[in-house]
Structure 1
């Protein structure tokens, strides 16, 4: 595997000994396998918080993290076929280095292998990459250590750890072996780092600059998050280096049907492209979220027409690969926007929901997806979108509160449909709204409890519009900028 530096240069190559987890038996070799990772919205919130409060983000990388896990099952593993060859190489190297201890150990292992006709097995004393429970074992080990150091887990995100002491707070977000740290007291954070390094082999990478394929740049009070290299690699992978850029990811009014001829798209890497675009859409590029969401419904029924539409997204990215989210001090509380495009899907006439939440001048959370049921009217579609946004608002409010910066008052959600707003605030059932499912009325309760408030804005100020439909160039660019997406290259 190749590891790259933030500037795209090759840093190093690495290889691992991996267990054959596919041969494990459930209930015998393992029980639990689930291991959480930090939500991307949590990581973006930490970036926004760092910009808003003028704090620094730091990055720790745990080396061979999974090898730290403790296993609670007796597991034997066959040694790799090339072990004998590797032992001979070790003996030659250590003979030259005059390291008699390692030389003797390698020699004994080689003799044991020959004695047992290479049928010897290894008893695992620690977790190993490839085991089904390896990820969970590592997470439980790290979780135990962080709690020992005084950290508490967030209910909003189990991979966000918070420690408070003497008015200072430290936040650590965990994504497998990457730890993103934020603190109001650098001396206390340094103490935590040193303590972790006594237990785990890890690298202190300094201020956060590259993580999870996301390039992070600090410029004065602003923090930028972009994925230029990821986009360039994707364009190269799909051989689109010489394509002509376009100004929008999807043409307005695009209507696609399911392809019934399975042979037409079987040799097209459509699913691979959509998967690559999807990570970009959920990480740093909300401007392509609707296009990717729309195209993903054709993963198993695509043809040439769908492939051309997917390649258009790459053409758009070719011209906007240096665009990223810009977080900067604003002073305004967390707030959101929600919109819907009624009956826009030509296949099943379901509507599209779009919402986004902004903090420190840019989006920290967003979603664009087709609604689960058919809405009978525009108001119903907007009401369902409001309900989804309300659920995310409650989650984010808890996240902010647990990080030590509670939101005072309700979170404002802006909506451009007055009928949906009235329906959310008035406990009235009419012939036009009696069919709406009980679960959609969840939003009324959140408003009554003071968790959120819905306020009307004109459609020209509806930032979530870009998440529900394909827009013409000037309007698309306007809402892209309102989401906090700017050129990182020229900043």
Structure 2
């Protein structure tokens, strides 16, 4: 029995917001009331006769336990309800001429002479993006079949707050961040300017080292796992600036110590000072729909296990839409080796991003941005030379698996172009290492993170001025 039901991922949603800003499109949010009850079952399911249900007159003299009820529609609580609802909605939209693709199965697009409409589905929430006339047709078509609430312009969706202004859209989670701070008793803590301390080169003094023999594991009274889960949600949605620190602290979830809990509180104190920070998609940026990638590796970022860190970020119009910070699963033998592994992961993400963007823009009849190679910035000269030349069985590279030279094939096919930049300009540094305050804030600004328009004692102390969208 199939129970899987796709939902829209946050990367696609961020790209659609960027598209709405650059093409000056409308955004509307619709909510289906009791969505799961519309699903049509593909298997026979029986349930006990519910209390209050009147049996046929011929059966009233027999025990109720002898009878069962066959379901004709899905109910809340069934494992396959989500899938049945998706199939029902998909069938209804495809019948009207909407198209979708397996690369992004929750994005339905219809193009007409008057414009186009994009329906982005997350269970029972539907974000409609497109031209005014076609959006109204889509709303009317959906209301014809389903009972829906029209929530107007998209301002709050999937826990994300969306602020519209004349210069673009700011996507943030200030309400959620404040709830997290209050939940862990950090809502009145003194704010900090970075999410983690600069790590010591001496592994015995590293505050992020594993539990020592003389240290105690935190008890269940310390909500370490809950804090990690709350911070991971922030890091994956709107706060790439805490990705590396949260990834580092999440490694010790099975045996956390007070040192690691102090690291959690350090991240929370940083959030305390940047509660209203989010991703700002500007309508004034040049090359608004061109994606640019940055890849980097932190060699021996985990010296205790001899593992390095992979980090990459892709920006669209100067603001991040996709990022990742993760520990490498292989032991890299050199910094060049670790950079090749990081570039391989970034290339895979780039191929998927290009596919999604090409599908959306071509179906909407918008000018293509994937006709030219996507720029992928890297700061390691030896790595770039090897990727350009392809796999060579030499003394220094024979141990590296040929599959990690996939980037070379993508360069040959003109899908990506690896370009060398200075280390100080590599935005992916944010995802591979702890950085001093000035460097950290410069890179945070570089990936499009800005703060809302408000005056706070913290911002006045640190910046000495009101912040519009700083």
Q: Taking structure 1 as the reference length, what is the TM-score of the superposition?
A: 0.84
Q: 1:304 maps to what in 2?
A: 258
- Equivalent residue for 2:177, pick from 231, 245, 264: 231
CA distance in 1, matches of 2:179, 2:319: 26
Aligned 8 A contact 1:334 1:359 in 2: yes
CA deviation after TM superposition for structure 1 residue 280, in Å: 0.8
User: Closer, same or farther in 2 for the Cα pair 1:76/1:439, shift >3 Å?
Assistant: same
2:277 paired with 1:331 = no
CA deviation after TM superposition for structure 1 residue 375, in Å: 0.7
Gaps of 5+ in 1: 1-30, 85-105
2:436 paired with 1:472 = yes
Q: 2:388 maps to what in 1?
A: 425
Aligned 8 A contact 1:149 1:192 in 2: no
Could you give the per-residue CA deviations for residues 421-468 of structure 1, whole angstroms, max 9, x where no partner exists? 111101333211111112201111001000000111111111111111
Q: 1:143 maps to what in 2?
A: 90
Could you give the per-residue CA deviations for residues 93-127 of structure 1, whole angstroms, max 9, x where no partner exists? xxxxxxxxxxxxx7x57999997666464432210
Within 5 A, what are the aligned runs for 1:209-248?
209-248=155-194
User: Closer, same or farther in 2 for the Cα pair 1:113/1:403, shift >3 Å?
Assistant: same
2:348 paired with 1:401 = no
CA distance in 2, matches of 1:478, 1:40: 25
2:13 paired with 1:43 = yes
Aligned 8 A contact 1:265 1:303 in 2: no
Gaps of 5+ in 2: 200-206, 454-467
2:440 paired with 1:482 = no
User: Closer, same or farther in 2 for the Cα pair 1:259/1:205, shift >3 Å?
Assistant: farther
CA distance in 1, matches of 2:265, 2:128: 37
User: Closer, same or farther in 2 for the Cα pair 1:337/1:205, shift >3 Å?
Assistant: same
CA distance in 1, matches of 2:309, 2:8: 27
CA distance in 2, matches of 1:242, 1:276: 18
User: Closer, same or farther in 2 for the Cα pair 1:199/1:415, shift >3 Å?
Assistant: same
User: Closer, same or farther in 2 for the Cα pair 1:121/1:112, shift >3 Å?
Assistant: farther
CA deviation after TM superposition for structure 1 residue 265, in Å: 3.4
**SS at structure 2 position matched to 1:72:** coil
CA distance in 2, matches of 1:232, 1:56: 29
User: Closer, same or farther in 2 for the Cα pair 1:200/1:352, shift >3 Å?
Assistant: same
- Equivalent residue for 1:257, pick from 202, 210, 214: 210
- Equivalent residue for 2:153, pick from 197, 207, 210: 207
User: Closer, same or farther in 2 for the Cα pair 1:488/1:431, shift >3 Å?
Assistant: same
**SS at structure 1 position matched to 2:261:** helix
- Equivalent residue for 1:279, pick from 221, 228, 233: 233
Q: 1:313 maps to what in 2?
A: 267
CA distance in 2, matches of 1:113, 1:409: 72
User: Closer, same or farther in 2 for the Cα pair 1:70/1:432, shift >3 Å?
Assistant: same
Q: 1:460 maps to what in 2?
A: 424
**SS at structure 2 position matched to 1:38:** coil
Q: 2:408 maps to what in 1?
A: 444
**SS at structure 1 position matched to 2:104:** coil
User: Closer, same or farther in 2 for the Cα pair 1:475/1:62, shift >3 Å?
Assistant: same
CA deviation after TM superposition for structure 1 residue 164, in Å: 2.1
**SS at structure 2 position matched to 1:239:** coil
CA distance in 1, matches of 2:55, 2:198: 67
Deviates more, 1:259-268 or 1:292-301: 259-268
User: Closer, same or farther in 2 for the Cα pair 1:433/1:113, shift >3 Å?
Assistant: farther
CA distance in 1, matches of 2:55, 2:193: 63
CA distance in 2, matches of 1:470, 1:122: 60
CA deviation after TM superposition for structure 1 residue 77, in Å: 2.4
User: Closer, same or farther in 2 for the Cα pair 1:220/1:346, shift >3 Å?
Assistant: same
CA distance in 2, matches of 1:399, 1:208: 22
2:81 paired with 1:134 = yes
Q: 2:301 maps to what in 1?
A: 344
User: Closer, same or farther in 2 for the Cα pair 1:217/1:326, shift >3 Å?
Assistant: same
User: Closer, same or farther in 2 for the Cα pair 1:114/1:55, shift >3 Å?
Assistant: same
- Equivalent residue for 1:413, pick from 376, 384, 388: 376
Aligned 8 A contact 1:76 1:124 in 2: yes
Deviates more, 1:170-179 or 1:371-380: 170-179
- Equivalent residue for 1:77, pick from 40, 47, 59: 47
Aligned 8 A contact 2:35 2:85 in 1: yes
Aligned residue-pair number: 436
Q: 1:389 maps to what in 2?
A: 346
Could you give the per-residue CA deviations for residues 164-186 of structure 1, whole angstroms, max 9, x where no partner exists? 23383322211111111211x32
**SS at structure 1 position matched to 2:218:** helix
**SS at structure 2 position matched to 1:342:** strand
Aligned 8 A contact 2:26 2:132 in 1: no
User: Closer, same or farther in 2 for the Cα pair 1:424/1:327, shift >3 Å?
Assistant: same
